[in-house]
Amino acid sequence: MYSEKVLDHFTHPRNVGEIADADGVGTVGNPRCGDIMRFYIKVEDGRISDITFKTFGCGAAVATSSMATELIRGKTLDEALQLTNKTVIEALEGLPPQKIHCSVLAEEALRAALVDYYTKHNLPLPKELETTASCDVCCRNEPRCDK
Amino acid sequence: MYSEKVLDHFTHPRNVGEIADADGVGTVGNPRCGDIMRFYIKVEDGRISDITFKTFGCGAAVATSSMATELIRGKTLDEALQLTNKTVIEALEGLPPQKIHCSVLAEEALRAALVDYYTKHNLPLPKELETTASCDVCCRNEPRCDK
Amino acid sequence: MFVYADNAATTPVSDAVFNAMLPWLHDRYGNPSAIYSVGREAKAAVEDARVKVASLIGARPEEIVFTAGGSESDNYALKGTAYAGRKKGRHIISTKIEHHAMLHTLEWLEKQGFEVTLLDVDSDGLVSPDDVKRAVSDNTILISVMAANNEIGTIEPIAEIGEIAAAHKIPFHTDAVQAYGHIPLNVREMNLSTLSLSAHKLRGPKGIGALYIKNGTHIDTFLHGGGQERGRRGGTENVAGIVGLGEAAYQCSLHMAEDAKRVTALRDRLIAGILPIPYSRLTGHPTRRLPGNASFCIEGIEGEAIVLTLDSLGVMASSGSACSSGSLDPSHVLMAIGLPHVVAHGSVRLSLGPQNTDAEVDYLISAVHKTAEDLRAKSPVWENNAPMWAKFE
Amino acid sequence: MFVYADNAATTPVSDAVFNAMLPWLHDRYGNPSAIYSVGREAKAAVEDARVKVASLIGARPEEIVFTAGGSESDNYALKGTAYAGRKKGRHIISTKIEHHAMLHTLEWLEKQGFEVTLLDVDSDGLVSPDDVKRAVSDNTILISVMAANNEIGTIEPIAEIGEIAAAHKIPFHTDAVQAYGHIPLNVREMNLSTLSLSAHKLRGPKGIGALYIKNGTHIDTFLHGGGQERGRRGGTENVAGIVGLGEAAYQCSLHMAEDAKRVTALRDRLIAGILPIPYSRLTGHPTRRLPGNASFCIEGIEGEAIVLTLDSLGVMASSGSACSSGSLDPSHVLMAIGLPHVVAHGSVRLSLGPQNTDAEVDYLISAVHKTAEDLRAKSPVWENNAPMWAKFE
Ligand SMILES: Cc1ncc(COP(=O)(O)O)c(C=O)c1O
Ligand SMILES: Cc1ncc(COP(=O)(O)O)c(C=O)c1O
């Protein structure tokens, strides 16, 4: 059911951990639903110079976190804003249908970390971040933010 | 489904054939039903000195004919009148339920041959033979004379 | 000599199939629904088999659902389509010569309030597409006609009937248990909604089969359970069986055309060798028949006795006579093609496979001749080289 | 090290079973319904297996019908009894912790107009016989309670419930797929009308099972077809599978008591080794549980991730977490015993069999400890050596 890539990113997740002096931290998900993702970012010269995550969740949740951080690391803030769950899924060589929501969660976690960064640093929120949905409520018999 | 004994009597039937100068011949069954049995008997000194059969029918029909002739050969007429399909079934070490009617047919064939013998020789019909049922009609969706 | 000539009943598993199955029966016992490694390798084997089973009939892999055999597939197709279509109508069209897995399921559906029309066939066992057309009503929710008959081997005009079904937008099922792997079938060209198949008829193992379900077909689940087969058929997958079916289908994709040619030649020689027996006849269509099927009626002797006598000569064959079916009437198929009872009682079917040889066919011919002679010599209905009913004809 | 610890999902086929099956997969391919010699020898093998399967539960051989596995047996028992009893009533009693083969069949029956009461269980997973008694009405036509639960291993009070069913003359079914061959069962003492079992849970092959049907039970046929299984289940018999099931049952009749003792000791050592993990708990009854079942919830980590991490350490295990079941909720069983979602997400089941060793148990203990540590280190809900929800408790 999982691609080799997903299994590899689950078993050897890249960028796990915390950043003590993070510029932005975003947490999405709900423990009741069984997934929580937290992304930590460090921003230098308009670029995401460091990014790490901690994830409570299934194989796909861990793998999408790992892959998303890999794709984002070193990107400019503008580039980071363009990351969609589709890119993550492609990079992982596919996800089973019932696991698509994990990739959405990863996208949301990054956006939450970016919102945190802009807010903490009193910067104006880019348009793209104004509509950030929360995945907190998307549990229990409802499609969980599956786009 | 068939006992070894039935298979043996089918494959190596005893007493197959005709008796040219038979003292009695009895035919029962209906070709439409798929079984016909004909018994030939020779009577000497009140004993059945020879008995043969010809049978059109399934394995059990052949085997019961064979076994019935074996059981009868050499018996007195009175003893022959006592033969029931049950004795034949036991001697064959059992028959599948749907094949019981074959053993009935064998009993009927013997009785028909005896009736023929008594009639041909102008002898009074023993009581036991007065009620001989005919198996000719017992076909098509009715239990075939299964006792 | 031992000759297995009952390949329409079941076939010997081929070496290729046996060897493909072995690891999955012992060392590789993982549950395909499990996400760990030994589960994933079982899953991959199942999906590989699905591709092979699908490609033989031009289906997509996801249109194949594995079942426990032809009977389950037939039950699933009929009950599943009937219940899914219940709101649209209650009328089902099928034929008088279907297998009991079909007929008994249809009887059960009648008890549940469905109406069943069973079409007649002609004396060769052919269903007429015109009859199908005439039987269709607004109320019809399913047409089901077997691809080829198991007793007499007649191959039905499935493509023509499929066109009628398509024109009326009625789901169309075929029981292809005898046909799959033996003759070319294409689910798209034949406009099929569902198709039943069973592994043990094509040198695969017993107890495994599949139902093709065209994408988009409305069908109720028959066997409820876990999420196996994408929720369409519950039960831990019979991995070894599925792998065996996949390999059997694959072997057919390689060898079906050449095997059919060779087996047809054997069959025709067998038929030519047996028909000289006086008062014998071929049953089923003379040319539109399964490559391996040679079925006859031999008058004056009884089918079960024929089978047992052939058995004593080392030949495994079968019969549709009343006795051999354990019922009072000869098989419904022999009745449907209009044979008199006295003729149908002498039914014998020899069915060949690619493993049968020329020498075996020679032996079969002589064994059937010998059997007919032996049994006729013992038969009270055989007089002066003819059955006693001949004089009434 | 490789340790297979998912024996509740499926078991490795034992050498005895494998060897018993082999000839029937290849050389001895006869159809048991055929009357010729190679058919008769297959028939004899099937009947021999039937005796073995029956004797393990005190049934008569003719009370055993072979099926394609536990799911088919469950479907057959429920639908067959419901339809046969339809004129008497429409009410069925079962429990919230049944397998999906039961629950999904019951849902389907509800759609057909039957009424289903699903009883609650206590926090150990036990069904209360008093609840059964209270649920019975004049309209009740079937009571069905599983013999032992597949996820948490709890063994249900079947004998007590059987007495209630008998007192009310209501047919009583049990899904004994997890129990058969593992714990003693007696169909007469337990007043059972029907009992489902599946070979691959007792070191037999996948895709074969049986339904015990007490003589005289009114039950509709589920899988219609030829006259196989005395007309009660159509389809060419899976001879190799049936022989495998028979041998597996026979092996259990020889070794079940001693195996259960040994496996229980392994299980208890495994439980004792895992429970020291902080915020971990055993699920299911502490003592009334299947010999091989050791199931836990470990807080702060997610079940599918546990299974995949254990896989990377060579351990095959399973989980009832939402993710691993592919649904949004943790398993209905974990919900039924009242676990909060956050706890249930951390579910992991290790299930042992007689082939597991002491050294394997040692390895399992260390692998689970390592897994919990690794995943907790990556978990945002694990803070200061406790799950973040601990502070709210
Ligand atoms: C309790 C229970 N019932 C039914 C089943 C279904 O059995 P099978 O997978 O053999 O169809 C299983 C196992 O999968 C089970 O554990
Ligand atoms: C035409 C046809 N349909 C259905 C079946 C049933 O298949 P199975 O025995 O695999 O259930 C058979 C063979 O037995 C068959 O010949």
- The atom of ligand 2 lying closest to the CA of C70 is 7
3-state DSSP of chain C: CCEECECCCCCCCCHHHHHHHHHHHCCCCCCCCCCCHHHHHHHHHHHHHHHHHHHCCCCCHHHEEEECCHHHHHHHHHHHHHHHCCCCCCEEEEECCCCHHHHHHHHHHHHCCCEEEEECCCCCCCCCHHHHHHHCCCCEEEEECCCECCCCCEECCHHHHHHHHHHCCCCEEEECCCCCCCCCCCCCCCCCCEEEEEHHHCCCCCCCEEEEECCCCCCCCCCCCCCCHHHCCCCCCCHHHHHHHHHHHHHHHHHHHHHHHHHHHHHHHHHHHHCCCCCEEECCCCCCECCCEEEEEECCCCHHHHHHHHHHCCEECECCCHHHHCCCCCCHHHHHCCCCHHHHCCEEEEECCCCCCHHHHHHHHHHHHHHHHHHHHHCCCEECCEEHHHHHC
Tell the burial category of D393 from Cβ atoms under 10 Å away from its Cβ (0-12, 13-18, 19+).
Answer: exposed
A2 touches chain C (CB under 8 A): yes
Question: Which residues of chain A does D329 touch, with a Cβ-Cβ cutoff of 8 Å?
Answer: 140-141
For D45, D71, D238, D239, D256, the CA distances from D242, given in Å and listed in that order, are 8, 16, 6, 5, 20
Domain ranges of chain D: 3-8+256-392, 15-252
Q: Is the pLDDT of residue B139 over 90?
A: no
Radius of gyration of chain C (CA): 22
Cα(B109)–Cα(B102) distance, integer angstroms:
10
Q: Is the pLDDT of residue C176 over 80?
A: yes
For A98, B144, C68, D71, the CA distances from D68, given in Å and listed in that order, are 29, 36, 6, 8
- Quick one: tokens of C380? 């009270």
Question: Which residues of chain C does A59 touch, with a Cβ-Cβ cutoff of 8 Å?
Answer: 35
AA letter at D163: E
B24 touches chain C (CB under 8 A): no
Asked whether the beta carbons of D352 and D263 are under 8 A apart, the reply is yes
Cα B56 to chain centroid, rounded: 12
Asked whether the beta carbons of C99 and C8 are under 8 A apart, the reply is no
Q: What is the DSSP letter of D240?
A: H
Cα(C114)–Cα(C82) distance, integer angstroms:
8
Backbone φ and ψ for D220, nearest 5 degrees, come out as: -75, 150
Nearest to C214 by CA among C41, C25, C61: C61
pLDDT at C393: 66
pLDDT in tens, B11-20: 999 999 999 9
- Quick one: tokens of C189? 């060209």
Q: What is the dihedral of CA C17, C22, C28, C29, to 10 degrees?
A: 90
Spacing, Cα C101 to ligand 2 middle (Å): 7
pLDDT in tens, B25-42: 999 998 888 899 999 999
Answer whether B touches A (≥3 Cβ pairs < 8 Å). no
Measured N-to-C along each axis, helices B4-11 and B59-72 cross at an angle, to the nearest 10 degrees, of: 90
The pLDDT-based confidence of A136 (bands split at 50, 70, 90) is very low
Question: Which residues of chain D does C333 touch, with a Cβ-Cβ cutoff of 8 Å?
Answer: none
A1 touches chain C (CB under 8 A): yes
Active-site residue, from A102, A135, A138, A145: A102
AA letter at C96: K
pLDDT at C322: 75
The pLDDT-based confidence of B143 (bands split at 50, 70, 90) is very low
Q: Which of C10, C11, C67, C71 to mutate to test the pocket of ligand 2 (most atoms within 8 A of CB)?
A: C71
pLDDT in tens, C118-173: 999 999 999 999 999 999 999 999 999 999 999 999 999 999 999 999 999 999 99
The pLDDT-based confidence of C326 (bands split at 50, 70, 90) is low
Spacing, Cα B80 to ligand 1 middle (Å): 60
pLDDT in tens, C78-90: 999 999 999 999 9
Tokens 């002096």, located at residue? A21
D308 contacts A11? CB cut-off 8 A? yes
List the pLDDT tens digit at each of the 393 positions of chain D.
999 999 999 999 999 999 999 999 999 999 999 999 999 999 999 999 999 999 999 999 999 999 999 999 999 999 999 999 999 999 999 999 999 999 999 999 999 999 999 999 999 999 999 999 999 999 999 999 999 999 999 999 999 999 999 999 999 999 999 999 999 999 999 999 999 999 999 999 999 999 999 999 999 999 999 989 999 999 999 999 999 999 999 999 999 999 999 999 999 999 999 999 999 999 999 999 999 999 999 999 999 999 999 999 999 999 988 776 656 678 999 999 999 999 999 999 999 999 999 999 999 999 999 999 999 999 999 999 999 998 776
Domain ranges of chain A: 4-129
Asked whether the beta carbons of A30 and A10 are under 8 A apart, the reply is no
- Chains within contact range of chain D (3+ C-beta pairs < 8 Å): A, B, C
Cα(A124)–Cα(C348) distance, integer angstroms:
90
CATH H-level, domain C3-8+256-392: superfamily: Aspartate Aminotransferase, domain 1 (3.90.1150.10)
pLDDT at D327: 64
- Answer with the residue of higher pLDDT: A134 or C189: C189
pLDDT at B141: 33
Q: How many Cα atoms sit within 13 Å of C379 on the Cβ side?
A: 32
Backbone φ and ψ for D83, nearest 5 degrees, come out as: -70, -35
Active-site residue, from C323, C335, C381, C390: C323
- Quick one: tokens of D369? 């400890």
A59 contacts C43? CB cut-off 8 A? no
Range D15-252: architecture per CATH: 3-Layer(aba) Sandwich (3.40)
A59 touches chain C (CB under 8 A): yes
pLDDT in tens, D187-210: 999 999 999 999 999 999 999 999
Q: What is the ipTM of this complex?
A: 0.94
Question: Which residues of chain D does A60 touch, with a Cβ-Cβ cutoff of 8 Å?
Answer: 323
Residues in CB range of D294: below 8 A, 6 or more apart: D153, D267, D270, D271, D274, D282, D349, D350, D351, D352
pTM: 0.95
Answer whether D touches C (≥3 Cβ pairs < 8 Å). yes
Cα C313 to chain centroid, rounded: 27
Question: Which residues of chain C does A2 touch, with a Cβ-Cβ cutoff of 8 Å?
Answer: 35, 40
pLDDT at B130: 82
Nearest to C295 by CA among C280, C277, C305: C280
Q: Which of D71, D96, D211 to mutate to test the pocket of ligand 1 (most atoms within 8 A of CB)?
A: D71
Number of CB pairs, chain B paired with chain D, less than 8 A apart: 6
Q: Which of D33, D236, D237, D239 to mutate to test the pocket of ligand 2 (most atoms within 8 A of CB)?
A: D236
Q: How many Cα atoms sit within 13 Å of C246 on the Cβ side?
A: 23
Cα(C251)–Cα(C17) distance, integer angstroms:
8
pLDDT in tens, A79-116: 999 999 999 999 999 999 889 999 999 999 999 999 99
pLDDT in tens, C44-56: 999 999 999 999 9
D379 touches chain A (CB under 8 A): yes
Q: Considering CB atoms only, which of B54, B98, B99 is closest to C379?
A: B54
Q: Is the pLDDT of residue B145 over 60?
A: no
H-type helices in D168-320, by residue range?
239-274, 303-312
Asked whether the beta carbons of D146 and D175 are under 8 A apart, the reply is yes
Q: Is C323 a catalytic residue?
A: yes
Cα(D342)–Cα(D322) distance, integer angstroms:
11
D323 touches chain A (CB under 8 A): yes
Q: Is the pLDDT of residue C185 over 50?
A: yes
Pairing of strands C172-175, C140-144: parallel
Handedness of CA C216, C217, C219, C221 (dihedral sign): negative
Ligand nearest to the CA of D77: 1
Q: Considering CB atoms only, which of B7, B10, B27 is closest to C380?
A: B27
- Mutation choice for C interface testing from D7, D21, D25, D105 by most C CBs within 10 A: D25
Provide the shortest C-alpha distance from residue B1 to chain D (in Å).
7
Range B4-129: architecture per CATH: Alpha-Beta Complex (3.90)
pLDDT at C327: 64
Cα(D210)–Cα(D146) distance, integer angstroms:
15
pLDDT in tens, A19-68: 999 999 999 998 888 899 999 999 999 999 999 999 999 999 999 999 99
pLDDT at D116: 98
A60 contacts D345? CB cut-off 8 A? no
- Quick one: tokens of A41? 């970012």
Cα(A67)–Cα(A5) distance, integer angstroms:
9
Nearest to C288 by CA among C393, C157, C389, C167: C157
Cα(D315)–Cα(D333) distance, integer angstroms:
24
- Quick one: tokens of B103? 């053993």
> D158 in helix, strand or coil?
helix
User: Average pLDDT in the B124-140 region?
Assistant: 65
